[in-house]
C-alpha cells in the first residue's frame, strides 16, 4: 500500500511501502522523514487543522497541517500529534527520535520510582537450614538487583525468644554476605518477635545472577 502526502502532486508527493521510513519531498528540495510508532507523525496526522507548539512548549497558534509541516521542514524536525483528542489536535515541533527517547526515559524513571517504593519481604527463622538460607539470600540479591528494597525478617517463636542471639547472629551473617549489593537503611532491630532490617540497593552496583545454592542430600524445612 502506498501513502501520499495530501495537497502535493508529482515529485512533491513521495511514497513508500507500509512499515518503512518515509521521506516527504517538497517542491524546491528538502524532506522530513516519517517514523513509524504509536503516535501520529507528520502526514499520518488526520486533522486538517492543528494547534502547534514548539519544542519549548511555546504556542505557535492554530494552522493547517500543511503549514505545520512546512514549519517542521524549515526547522528540520517533525510534527508529532501529542493530544489527538483536543479540538483542534495539539501537535509539537520536535525531533521524533528525541521525543521517543525522552518519553522512554520518563517511563523508566517512573518505573524505577515505583520499584523503590515497593518493599519485598524475605523471611527467615533462627533455625533456617543452610540450603534454605542460601536460597533466600540469593532471592534478596535478585530483588536488590532489580531495584527493589527488601525487608529481611527473622521470626522467633516460643522458646526461640529466649535465645535471640541465634537469630541476631544469622542476621549479622546475612548482612555480611550481601554487603556488596545492599545498604542498610535501618536495623537490625527487634519488633515484637521479629528481628528485621530494611535493605536498599547499593548505588552504582548491579547484582549479577546469584549462584545456585549447593544441593543437599535431604532438604530440611525452615
Asked if the structure places residue 16 within a domain, the reply is yes
| Predicted TM-score of the model (pTM) | 0.45
Into how many domains does the chain fold? 2
Residue 212 located in a structural domain: no
**Which segment of 35-44, 121-130, 190-199 scores lowest on mean pLDDT?**
35-44
Q: Vertex 138, ends 132 and 143: CA angle to 5°?
A: 125
Helices (H), the chain: 65-75, 96-117, 130-145, 164-177
| Residues 89, 135 within the same domain | no
- Give me the domain span that covers residue 55: 10-99
Q: What is the mean pLDDT of the chain?
A: 78
DSSP code for 52 = E
Regarding whether 92 and 15 lie in a shared domain, the answer is yes
Residues 203, 186: Cα–Cα separation, whole Å: 16
User: Which strands make up the sheet holding 182-191, listed edge to edge?
Assistant: 119-124, 149-155, 194-201, 182-191
Last residue of a domain, one of 44, 69, 99: 99
Model confidence at 207, pLDDT cuts 50, 70, 90, reads very low
pLDDT tens-digit readout, 20-62 = 444 444 444 444 444 445 788 888 888 889 999 988 888 999 9
Amino acid at each position: 500500500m502506498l501513502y501520499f502526502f495530501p495537497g502535493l502532486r508529482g515529485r512533491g508527493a513521495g511514497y513508500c511501502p507500509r512499515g518503512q521510513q518515509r521521506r516527504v519531498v517538497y517542491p524546491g528540495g528538502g524532506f522530513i522523514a516519517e517514523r513509524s510508532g504509536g503516535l501520529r507523525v507528520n502526514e499520518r496526522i488526520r486533522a486538517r487543522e492543528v494547534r502547534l507548539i514548539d519544542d519549548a512548549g511555546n504556542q505557535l497558534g492554530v494552522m493547517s497541517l500543511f503549514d505545520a509541516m512546512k514549519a517542521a521542514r524549515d526547522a528540520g524536525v517533525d510534527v508529532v500529534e501529542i493530544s489527538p483528542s483536543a479540538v483542534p489536535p495539539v501537535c509539537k515541533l520536535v525531533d521524533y527520535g528525541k521525543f521517543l527517547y525522552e518519553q522512554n526515559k520518563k517511563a523508566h524513571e517512573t518505573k524505577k520510582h515505583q520499584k523503590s517504593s515497593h518493599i519485598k519481604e524475605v523471611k527467615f527463622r533462627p533455625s533456617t537450614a543452610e540450603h534454605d538460607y542460601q536460597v533466600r539470600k540469593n532471592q534478596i540479591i535478585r530483588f536488590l538487583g532489580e531495584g527493589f528494597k527488601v525487608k529481611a525478617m527473622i521470626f522467633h517463636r516460643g522458646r526461640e525468644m529466649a535465645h535471640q542471639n541465634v537469630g541476631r547472629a544469622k542476621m549479622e551473617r546475612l548482612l555480611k554476605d550481601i554487603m556488596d549489593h545492599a545498604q542498610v537503611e535501618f536495623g537490625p532491630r527487634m519488633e515484637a518477635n521479629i528481628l528485621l532490617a530494611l535493605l536498599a540497593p547499593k548505588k552504582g552496583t548491579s547484582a549479577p545472577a546469584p549462584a545456585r545454592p549447593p544441593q543437599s542430600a535431604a532438604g530440611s524445612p525452615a
